[in-house]
Amino acid sequence: MSQKTVVIIGASGAIGKALVNLNLRLNNQVVTVSRETLSISHPLLKKYQSDYSQKSISEVASLISRVYPMLSTITVCNGALHTQTNMPEKRIEAFDIDYFSTLLHINTMTPFMWLQAFTPHLLSTQTPCVFTALSARIGSISDNQLGGWYSYRASKASLNMLFKTASIELQRRKCNAKLMLFHPGTTDSELSKPFQNNVPEGKLFKPEFVAQQLHSFQLNRDFNGAIDYIDWQGHNIQW
């Protein structure tokens, strides 16, 4: 199997770190982006830092594209569910504009800014590239039967719409890329920690399992111009 070059954004999180370690074991060239410097060292690992401002994202993506012109996958692992002051809303009265704005920035704007920044690379490269963002089943409008969690649902639904819209444009522009939105299930991470007591037995996944599932799906995408919105089993999710 030939060596691949993969970009992992949000590499300091649970799923991001698991993806880094998995790809290093596979002897792939791994390019990471995170706020903090990763403690991992490896000859095949190149680390970049970003404050996730639009200017920083644009500069880092441009630099990576110049240094590594043949990217196989770009995976954005950034995401948030709760903050130090807010938890998901159970009632309309709990809706808080600052909490909503924070989730929109992290869950929606940040992944889309990375897609925007890498678009010149995706349009110019001859290497098929899978661009993945972590979404969630809770972002499905048609699947919403329980209500609640207003800000998180809306931030993921917005992410889905932006990526769906981008996939139509990129297909029209004959881009050699595949967009994928991936629902990892409930992963053992800081994001899910306050809610793990309510997770059914066998449904709390280790980051290593999620990374392996995601990697396997990235290897087997159909470059048909359509976006894939799938879960950790590879099943399609309703929009």
The CATH number of residue 68's host domain is 3.40.50.720
In a domain, 58, yes or no: yes
Residue 171 lies in domain = 5-231
Percent of the chain with pLDDT over 70: 96
Residue 174, in any domain of the structure: yes
Q: Is the C-alpha dihedral spanning 11, 14, 15, 17 positive or negative? A: positive
Q: For residue 15, which of 155, 226, 186 has the smallest C-alpha distance?
A: 186
- The DSSP line for 156-187 is HHHHHHHHHHHHHHHHHTT--EEEEEEE--EE
The pLDDT tens digits for 146-166 are 999 999 999 999 999 999 999
Residue 236 lies in a domain: no
Please report whether residue 238 resides in a domain: no
Quote the number of domains for the chain. Answer: 1
Q: What is the pLDDT of residues 48-91, one digit of tens each?
A: 999 999 999 999 999 999 999 999 999 999 999 999 999 999 99
* 170-203: pLDDT as tens digits: 999 999 999 999 999 888 877 666 766 667 777 7
Mean pLDDT is lowest, of 27-31, 148-152, 202-206, 234-238, for: 202-206
Cβ-in-10-Å burial (0-12, 13-18, 19+) of 7 comes to: buried
Question: Does residue 92 lie in a domain region?
Answer: yes
Q: What confidence category does residue 129 fall into, taking pLDDT thresholds of 50, 70 and 90? A: very high
> Is residue 32 one of the residues assigned to a domain?
yes
